[in-house]
Chain A
């Protein structure tokens, strides 16, 4: 494989940036990187761009002081009760709800709290039959709002990054069905967040028995003769093995599948999907139909179950094994398979490090994952191994931020005051990130090529502009007010926002462009020329410009 231009350029730049970069603008000198190419940033920038949605004011200095290991361990052991600011913001948040009157319900237009987040499952289940569709999908909007608040204000940034990862790994289209939307706070909290740093086998069963997934992939109606294959297919292809381990050319000849040195088939075939689908027949939701309880929780209907013998991954599951036994056996088989372990570990490294993570890093993750297969904190231990491996800091430039990450980092690093609103949600959707609204079970792609489309770039850049405007409700900016009184000249202003938003100096070319934008024809070591309003527009343009830089996009 030939080295790409990017890798070559970064390789050349790494040696040139050994200098310690100070966030404090009074500390001199600030040396831009010598080349026009992006430089490799200091470790705290790498850490905060991958383990967090960017840096709040002071974050770069704090992480630099505490060191990577302490920061990783802090982030892996969240104390949610201590996240006072974030918790208060969620408790006080108001999200507008508006709909016209309809049969049996009046018109509503009010600012309402995120009330469904604290509702019990039976209370949420009742919402699915609310006469207003807006009320039926309201719980999803509230989780979206809460997750935006957490992305921007939570102290436990890594937990939020991983919550987003697992929501995409076990993707459910929350708006596709009002039974799913009504229960959405439950899926977010008791399935995704509860298992985020936990044990994968437990996680898998929690997902497989969640009403959200049972409805989304149709297993709730799967019964003997013929079974619905939707969930079983994606269980193999997306939740565990990955399609790279799908041996479709073998189709149904399970005896022909090559074995590994422990006698296990090396991949899965269509017949495994068909057999697994039979194993999950009768795994449904208690929806009150046909004499079963009406509680909205997982329910097993034995009379729907195909209880005959099955062959899954060359394992015989004997007939009449008992309630749910075959389904759980399938979960055991797929969760423990080495192909699954490598697939999940690769995905973790792709999220936390780069699009094409080094094999040596994936190998380390696989080793920790495997050694802790039964541990209640298997996922946490694996993440720790990835973040503290030398490869974590040795790689840079192999991934860009997705639109939601760009926007969150922009809001965090500019100290914006954020109140999530429908405008923010719909704009992010236009940019391509459809939080809980991604239709296919793949979840959002995690490779930069997808996020480099002209649509994603342009709309995200434009959103960064809109966010600063008075007409755009979700955020309020006070750029001038945040600058220390010592920051007065063009050069100081540019350096201040460069260090707040990037945490290190960009290339000389970029620096020149930023100085020209802020300074125009004036002296760079004097206060900016022009009227107060003109200077305000240029300061706004400067911050917008930094948000569009390759340095800001790289993670």
Chain B
């Protein structure tokens, strides 16, 4: 039977599951039905992606005046892809993001426009810090928002949180159980047979007692290595889809493999940089979008059997200036685009309220305004999909729960208490 691409995107194809089972026979493998909790994957686009140039109001006269040198057309060669309207304003998707058009049309992908961090910072590093700690205006918070979310859910898996970068993002600051795994096959210690095992056992003991700042991280490393090893990961991992080449795909494959290994993964984070398009935006943004959308498309289909438990959030620290600069680029701006992908997403829509691009509608007269706080988006996923009602702990500075209807799921009585100390015996920094 020929499987159409469309079915592949949305369907829970038993044929594909069977094929995968055959190929990976003999390995410990999570049956999708075994996974109790939803899994959230957070993709952070570092550098401030130009949401205005990805989902664009091409008909808007202000947009045309400010962007005519760097935008895509709505007809002809390289035309944008029609997404429909947000309010009464029609939007087009960047043509290099065609892989996302398919997910949007299959109603697995939703956009949230004019969203972001309401704090007005135009600094990458402050904005990321504020967002990831989950406390805008305060970057001395000692824990990240995902750390607090996980603390409230009492994870029981052996590897409940992973990040694929060289190091943990600020959203996992102070986490007692987050690990970084960029390559599952290589997640093992090198040594000479018995002597290697002796080293590992000795380090396990030493690092519980030295009082060094490495005690907790080394202990976490050693226990997660043992957990992964016990599940005998495929070497190399064989996905059921073809990912484009590149680092982003490698990270996504590591996450897909860990999901399938049944180690109790609940949250995974990964970074994709290169969005700081101050100069030569047209080729750079096009290439970034091509890689991002094709990689995520492959990842989503690789996890076709997990769609009902999977929510992927794509966010960035801020959007970019409406008016292009003389380097054919855009400088740091404010409001931006967020994306949510998953089997329980009310996709095919652009959520939020469009503030307009007339001078009076812009933030400080120059940048897209924000009408949806990024925490509104995350709160809805935390409650409806991750079944955590402790928003007072996760986002201590908000006091209202206002779901946009982004994802399906029932609401819960919100616990607005904070006091995360009791949940985090190892709060650091």
Q: Given known contacts A251-B120, A455-B181, A513-B206, what 6 new A-B pairs fall within 8 Å (CB)?
A: A37-B209, A222-B326, A453-B166, A457-B214, A509-B209, A550-B214
Does B69 reach chain A (CB closer than 8 Å)? no
Q: Which residues does chain B contribute within 8 Å of A243, judged by CB atoms?
A: 123, 125-126
Contact B211 A455 (CB under 8 A): no
A residues 511-546 near B (Cβ < 8 Å) are 513, 516-517, 537-538, 540-541, 544-545
* Interface stretch of the complex, out of A2-10, A120-128, A374-382: A2-10
Number of interface residues of A (CB under 8 A): 75
Give the distance in Å from the alpha carbon of A65 to the alpha carbon of B241 in the complex.
Answer: 64
Contact A270 B122 (CB under 8 A): yes
Q: Is the interface of B mostly helix, strand, loop or mixed?
A: loop
Nearest neighbor of B198 in chain A, beta-carbon distance = A517
- Give min CB distance, B122 to chain A, whole Å: 6
Q: Which residues does chain A contribute within 8 Å of B89, judged by CB atoms?
A: none
Give the distance in Å from the alpha carbon of A553 to the alpha carbon of B215 in the complex.
Answer: 11
Q: Which residues does chain A contribute within 8 Å of B166, judged by CB atoms?
A: 431-432, 453, 455-456
- Give min CB distance, B154 to chain A, whole Å: 21
Contact B121 A6 (CB under 8 A): no
Contact A228 B329 (CB under 8 A): yes
Which residue from A13, A230, A249, A397 sits with its C-beta under 8 Å from B331? A230
Nearest neighbor of B182 in chain A, beta-carbon distance = A455
Does B157 reach chain A (CB closer than 8 Å)? no
- Give min CB distance, A43 to chain B, whole Å: 19
The 6 A-B residue pairs whose C-beta atoms are closest, nearest first, are: A9-B211, A432-B166, A550-B212, A452-B217, A455-B180, A221-B327
* Interface stretch of the complex, out of B91-99, B101-109, B187-195, B378-386: B187-195
Does B75 reach chain A (CB closer than 8 Å)? no
Q: Which residues does chain B contribute within 8 Å of A397, judged by CB atoms?
A: 211-213
- Give min CB distance, A13 to chain B, whole Å: 8
Q: Which residues does chain A contribute within 8 Å of B125, judged by CB atoms?
A: 237, 243, 440, 442
Does B364 reach chain A (CB closer than 8 Å)? yes
Contact A230 B278 (CB under 8 A): yes
Give the distance in Å from the alpha carbon of A227 to the alpha carbon of B332 in the complex.
Answer: 12
Q: Is the interface of A mostly helix, strand, loop or mixed?
A: helix
Give B residues with C-beta under 8 Å from A.
46-47, 119-126, 163, 165-168, 173, 179-182, 186-187, 189-192, 195-196, 198-199, 202-203, 205-207, 209-215, 217-218, 220-221, 224-225, 273-274, 276, 278-279, 323, 325-329, 331-332, 364, 428-429
Contact A451 B167 (CB under 8 A): yes
Give the distance in Å from the alpha carbon of A10 to the alpha carbon of B212 in the complex.
Answer: 9
Contact A541 B279 (CB under 8 A): no
* Interface stretch of the complex, out of A81-89, A157-165, A459-467: A459-467
A residues 182-207 near B (Cβ < 8 Å) are none
Does A554 reach chain B (CB closer than 8 Å)? yes
Of B181, B211, B331, the most chain A CB neighbours within 10 A belong to: B211
Give the distance in Å from the alpha carbon of A248 to the alpha carbon of B130 in the complex.
Answer: 13
Give A residues with C-beta under 8 Å from B.
4-6, 8-10, 13, 36-38, 217-218, 221-230, 233, 237, 243, 246, 248-249, 251-252, 270, 273, 397-398, 400, 430-432, 439-440, 442, 445, 448-459, 461-462, 465-466, 507, 509-510, 513, 516-517, 537-538, 540-541, 544-545, 548-550, 553-554
Q: Which residues does chain A contribute within 8 Å of B124, judged by CB atoms?
A: 440
Of A222, A226, A458, the most chain B CB neighbours within 10 A belong to: A458
A-B contact pairs, 17 of them (CB 8 A): A37-B209, A38-B212, A218-B329, A222-B327, A228-B325, A237-B123, A243-B123, A251-B120, A397-B211, A431-B166, A432-B166, A440-B124, A453-B168, A465-B190, A537-B192, A541-B191, A544-B191
Contact A454 B180 (CB under 8 A): yes
Q: Which residues does chain B contribute within 8 Å of A442, judged by CB atoms?
A: 125
- Give min CB distance, A427 to chain B, whole Å: 11
Which residue from B168, B218, B327 sits with its C-beta under 8 Å from A457? B218
Contact flag A10-B211 (CB < 8 Å), given A223-B326, A225-B326, A466-B190: yes
Give the distance in Å from the alpha carbon of A525 to the alpha carbon of B227 in the complex.
Answer: 38
Contact B221 A454 (CB under 8 A): yes
Contact B279 A458 (CB under 8 A): no
Q: Which residues does chain B contribute within 8 Å of A225, judged by CB atoms?
A: 326
Q: Which residues does chain B contribute within 8 Å of A549, judged by CB atoms?
A: 206
Give the distance in Å from the alpha carbon of A439 to the alpha carbon of B284 in the complex.
Answer: 15
Which residue from A228, A233, A509, A541 sits with its C-beta under 8 Å from B192? A541
